[in-house]
């Protein structure tokens, strides 16, 4: 999600050099693998400030669905600010079910235009109410097909098509379920990242819930109802699981994974072993997390849908020497409070020594996971956004958007991509090593395409990373260090062999838009991408000469309302 920088960018802090490779990736992913993919080779583009989705020669895109398009049998519309895309094959590579998150609606915030009310009125003829906002967030489930000409289109009215929003009945499980009114909860929103599970469900993550409902909880696990959405604050900030092939299924919020601003969840799953989830808490000073299930994954076992209901949660502590450890969020864990008052902690009674002295129950502790992690000395980091597990060796890539002005190794205002490797390659290990894999920079400061503020990640068939950037609204086309970067973009980062560390720009987004949720179709016959909040800073562009301020994408006509949309990128 786009946020304004609150600190001065200043001079780029000196960064230690990239560490030596922590271990070669497994041979089963070869540096020259999958060369028959349509995306294996392309001519990198230069940054642009055009109000268009600019791609390399030989690629085109189909607008599959945009905000406001009816697509369900009962006429429900595709939601606003689409984000993560989960791909579920239905009947071959050309017939898919997609799960698409809808993160938030663009209101007047920090100098941004009131884009959502402005365009809502243009499209629907009235001003939006809060209930409209609650219907335009959550998730969409939509069947898509590729036609004989190669174009991807939505199957309008398909029985699988579904909207999940802030009104949808849900339930909660795990240690905090009893504190959430017996486990019955209402709706989901601020859905940012997600994951497709090996057992065929979708995981969607609730991120900036605190902008809609109260975030604070007390030592007993009690919370308030209120905020813009006037809902119980403790019901939000979780990872939610549901079945995209069962429109009548009830989504489940897994409280064992903790309550914080969940950007995403990356999975490491092997048959006969416990499931491991890696997660980021996207805020200045947010933590990197690991969850280990109590029970093991067994292919084909219906019990897999309960694997995230019970387990152990850990927060990372990063050492300056490239080493790190996982600290358990456990009632028995000793207190070691982070000293900076910027890192909020729970009330710590006099003489308290362990987390059990601060919380009445494990459920109350999980409801307050962010503050509890600060109480045990987990590292406040540089806005950890997407975390993805590499399929070759299980190493974890993390996009840190940046934390300028904070102490520690995250002061680069352009952000960084890190890689962590568990000790002995064991996901159950309590220690790990970390390295800076690739750093954001000004144009000309390093070889390859410049990028800043890394966000979502995807991994292709060759083992390379695909990285989206999210240039904050107060620097894009304004700050001299960012003007040469143009609009936000999509980049490929080489991981294997001679390509390691190479950065190539693949796409430039429309004006003031953010690319989110990149996901490949089977066989990489398409790359699905969310185009989020075009025109968020300056609103609807009224005159062509106002470029690059504002947007009219995807219509391309001055005065037309900019609309978030999901596209399918393919070879022409």
Q: What is the mean pLDDT of residues 28-32?
A: 48
- Mean pLDDT across the chain: 92
Examine the pLDDT at 569 and tell me if it is beyond 60.
yes
403: phi > 0 → left, psi -120 to 50 → alpha, else beta; which? Answer: beta
Question: In a 3-state reduction of DSSP, which class is residue 8?
Answer: coil
In DSSP terms, 397 is beta-bridged to 388, 419
Least confident of 6-10, 397-401, 473-477, 507-511: 6-10
CB atoms within 10 A of CB 474: 17
DSSP for 65-88? EETT-B-STT-PBP-SSEEEEEEE
Instruction: Check: CB of residue 236 under 8 Å from CB of residue 207.
Output: no
How high is the pLDDT of residue 1?
Answer: 55
Least confident of 74-83, 344-353, 396-405, 507-516: 396-405
Residue 18 has pLDDT above 50, yes or no: no
For residue 120, which of 549, 564, 566 has the smallest C-alpha distance? Answer: 564
Burial class (CB in 10 A: 0-12, 13-18, 19+), 343: buried
Query: Which of 391, 259, 374 is CA-nearest to residue 313?
Result: 259
* Residue range 309-367, pLDDT digits in tens: 999 999 999 999 999 999 999 999 999 999 999 999 999 999 999 999 999 999 999 99
pLDDT tier for residue 497 given thresholds of 50, 70 and 90: confident
**What is the DSSP-derived secondary structure letter of residue 556?**
T
pLDDT digits (tens, 9 = 90+) for 226-266: 999 999 999 999 999 999 999 999 999 999 999 999 999 99
Identify the pLDDT of residue 34. 63
Determine the average pLDDT of the residues in 505-515.
98
* pLDDT band of 29, cuts 50, 70, 90: low
User: pLDDT of 268-281, one tens digit each?
Assistant: 999 999 999 999 99
Taking 50 as the threshold, does the pLDDT of residue 371 lie above it? yes
What pLDDT is recorded for position 23? 44
Flag the least confident range among 153-162, 443-452, 489-498. Answer: 443-452
CB 160 within 8 A of CB 141: yes
């Amino acid at each position: 999600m786009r946020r304004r920088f609150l600190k001065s960018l200043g001079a780029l802090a000196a960064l230690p050099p990239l560490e030596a490779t922590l271990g070669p990736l497994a041979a089963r992913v070869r540096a020259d693998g999958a060369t028959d993919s349509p995306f294996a080779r392309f001519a990198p583009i230069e940054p642009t400030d055009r109000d268009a989705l600019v791609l390399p020669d030989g690629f085109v895109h189909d607008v599959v669905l945009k905000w406001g398009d009816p697509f369900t049998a009962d006429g429900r519309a595709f939601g606003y600010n689409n984000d993560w895309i989960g791909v579920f094959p239905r009947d071959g590579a050309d017939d898919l079910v997609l799960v698409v998150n809808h993160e938030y609606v663009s209101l007047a915030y920090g100098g941004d235009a009131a884009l959502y009310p402005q365009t809502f009125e243009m499209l629907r003829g009235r001003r939006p109410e809060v209930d409209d906002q609650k219907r335009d967030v959550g998730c969409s489930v939509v069947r898509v097909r590729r036609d004989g000409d190669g174009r991807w289109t939505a199957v309008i009215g398909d029985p699988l098509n579904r909207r999940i929003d802030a009104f949808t009945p849900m339930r909660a499980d795990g240690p905090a379920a009893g504190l959430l009114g017996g486990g019955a909860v209402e709706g989901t929103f601020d859905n940012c990242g997600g994951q497709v599970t090996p057992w065929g469900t979708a995981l969607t993550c609730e991120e900036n819930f605190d902008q809609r409902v109260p975030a604070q909880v007390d030592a007993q696990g009690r919370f308030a109802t209120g905020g813009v959405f006037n809902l119980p604050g403790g019901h939000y900030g979780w990872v939610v699981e549901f079945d995209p092939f069962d429109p009548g299924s009830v989504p489940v919020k897994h409280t064992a994974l903790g309550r914080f601003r969940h950007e995403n969840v990356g999975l490491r799953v092997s048959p006969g072993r416990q499931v491991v989830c890696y997660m980021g808490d996207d805020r200045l000073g947010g933590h990197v997390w690991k969850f280990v299930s109590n029970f093991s994954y067994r292919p084909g076992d219906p019990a897999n849908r309960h694997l995230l209901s019970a387990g152990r949660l850990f927060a990372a502590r990063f050492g300056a020497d490239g080493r790190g450890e996982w600290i358990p969020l456990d009632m028995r864990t000793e207190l070691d409070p982070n000293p900076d008052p910027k890192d909020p902690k729970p009330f710590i009674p006099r003489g308290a020594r362990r987390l059990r002295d601060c919380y009445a129950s494990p459920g109350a502790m999980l409801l307050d996971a962010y503050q509890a992690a600060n109480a045990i000395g987990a590292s406040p980091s540089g806005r950890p956004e997407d975390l993805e597990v590499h399929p070759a060796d299980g190493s974890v890539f993390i996009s840190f958007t940046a934390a300028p002005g904070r102490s520690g190794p995250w002061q680069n205002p352009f952000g960084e991509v890190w890689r962590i490797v568990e000790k002995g390659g064991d996901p159950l290990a309590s220690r790990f090593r970390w390295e800076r894999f690739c750093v954001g920079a000004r144009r000309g400061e390093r070889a390859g395409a410049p990028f800043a503020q890394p966000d979502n990640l995807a991994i292709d068939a060759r083992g390379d990373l695909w990285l989206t950037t999210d240039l904050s609204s107060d620097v894009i086309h304004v700050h001299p260090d960012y003007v040469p970067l143009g609009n936000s973009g999509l980049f490929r980062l080489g991981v294997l062999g001679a390509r390691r560390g190479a950065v190539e720009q693949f796409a430039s987004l429309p004006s003031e838009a953010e690319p989110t949720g990149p996901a490949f179709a089977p066989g990489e016959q398409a790359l699905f991408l969310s185009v989020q909040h075009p025109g968020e800073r300056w609103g609807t562009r009224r005159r062509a000469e106002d470029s690059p301020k504002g947007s009219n994408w995807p219509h391309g006509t001055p005065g037309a309302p900019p609309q978030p949309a999901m596209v399918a990128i393919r070879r022409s």
